[in-house]
Structure 1
C-alpha cells in the first residue's frame, strides 16, 4: 500500500532487457532506501515494483512485459528521472489517499500553464480507443487521482481531459516540473471511487438500466 506522497526523485542507473521483460536498476538519494530488503515493494512513477536486489542506494526491480506495455516504465532509459515512494507502514500518517500501485492507463500531457505560484497541467484522457481502458467514468471534479505516483485532486475536467494544480513544493520533490507536452503519465484511479462506480453500474445493469 502507498499513500501517494512522493518521497523524492531517483535516477535510472541501468536498464537491462530480459527476454520480454526488463531489469531496472535505480540510484536513489543517499540513505532513502536504508533498511530496504529483497521482496519489499517500492512505487516507481506510481507502479508497485518488487525489490530483487539491493546494493546500498542502488535497487533493482524486474518489470514484466504487461507492465512495460501499460505504463511509462517501458519508456524509461538510463538517466531517466522517476518519482518514488516506499511502501507505507501500518500506523503511519496517510497524507494523500490509499493507493495500490496498480496503474489503469496512461494519460498524455496536453498543456502546461503557470498561474501565479501554481502550475496547471492538463492531461488528455483517451477516448474511443478500444484497445485502452476508458478511465473517464471514474474521474470527476475534486476527485482523487494518482498521477506518476502522486496523490492529486482534479481541479477541472472536460469530456476528454483532466487538469490538476501543483504547488511549488510538489514541483520541487517530483518530476512534474520536468514534464513537457506529449509526455505520458501513469494514472491510478482511487480504489474507493472505482468500487463505488462499478457496484452502481452492476446493480443498474441487473435492473435493466443501461447507462449511456
Structure 2
C-alpha cells in the first residue's frame, strides 16, 4: 500500500528483455535504500513492483507482459525518469490517499498551461475510467496523489505547484505524454457495492440485439 507522496526521482538504468517480460534496473536517486529488503514493494511511476535484487543505490524488479501492456512501461527506455515511493508503514504519515500501485489505465496529457504560481494540466483518461473520476476527488498519476480540479467527460484537470514539478516526473510532461492512472479505490468498491445481489451473478457476455445488429448478424 502507498500514499502517492513521491519520495525520490529514479532513473531506469537498464531494461533487459526476458521473453515477453522485462527485468528493470532502477537507479534509486535520493531514495533511502538502507531499509529495503528482497521482496519489498516499491511503486515505480505508480506501478507496484517487487524488489528481486538491490544495492546501495539501485534495485531490480521484474515487469510482466501484462503489466507492460496495461501501463506506460511499453514506452519507457533506459534513461527514463520514474517516480519512486516505498510501501508505507503503519507509523508513516498518510499525506496522500490510499494507493494500491495497481494501474487502471494509461492517460494522455492533453495540454499544459503555465500560470503565475501553478501549472494547469489536462489529462485524457480512457473512457471506461471516466465514471471513477470526480471533481475534488483523488487520482494517482504516475504514482503521484493529486486532486481533480475539474472534469469534462473523460478529461480532467490538475493544478500542479512548482515544487511538485521539480520533485516528480510531472516536470517532464508535454502534450501527448502518456501517464499511468490509478483511480480512487473507494470509487471501485462503491461501484461493486451498488450492484447489491447482482454482484454474485455471472458477468454478462455483452452480446445483445444491438451488438448483433452492429456486427451484421441481423438484417435490417
| TM > 0.5 fold call | yes
Q: For residues 71 and 103 of structure 1, what CA distance do their matches in structure 2 show? A: 7
- What is the SS of the residue equivalent to 2:39? coil
Unaligned runs of 5+ in 2: 200-220
Q: Pick from 172, 176, 180: which aligns with 1:182?
A: 176
Please give the TM-score of this superposition, normalised by the length of structure 1.
0.90
1:18 aligns to what? 18
1:121 aligns to what? 121
1:161 aligns to what? 155
Matched, 1:198 2:192: yes
- What is the SS of the residue equivalent to 1:106? strand
Change (3 A) 1:16 1:180: same
Change (3 A) 1:62 1:179: same
What is the alpha-carbon root mean square deviation over aligned residues? Answer: 1.4
2:143 aligns to what? 149
Q: For residues 109 and 118 of structure 1, what CA distance do their matches in structure 2 show? A: 16
Q: For residues 25 and 89 of structure 1, what CA distance do their matches in structure 2 show? A: 24
Deviations 1:20-39 (A, max 9, x none): 00000011125622221110
Q: For residues 30 and 100 of structure 2, what CA distance do their matches in structure 1 show? A: 26
- Distance apart, 1:181 and its partner CA: 0.9
Which structure is larger by alpha-carbon Rg, 1 or 2? 2
Moved over 6 A (4+): none
Moved more, 22-31 or 187-196: 22-31
Q: Is the 8 A contact 2:118 2:159 kept in 1?
A: yes
- Distance apart, 1:198 and its partner CA: 2.7
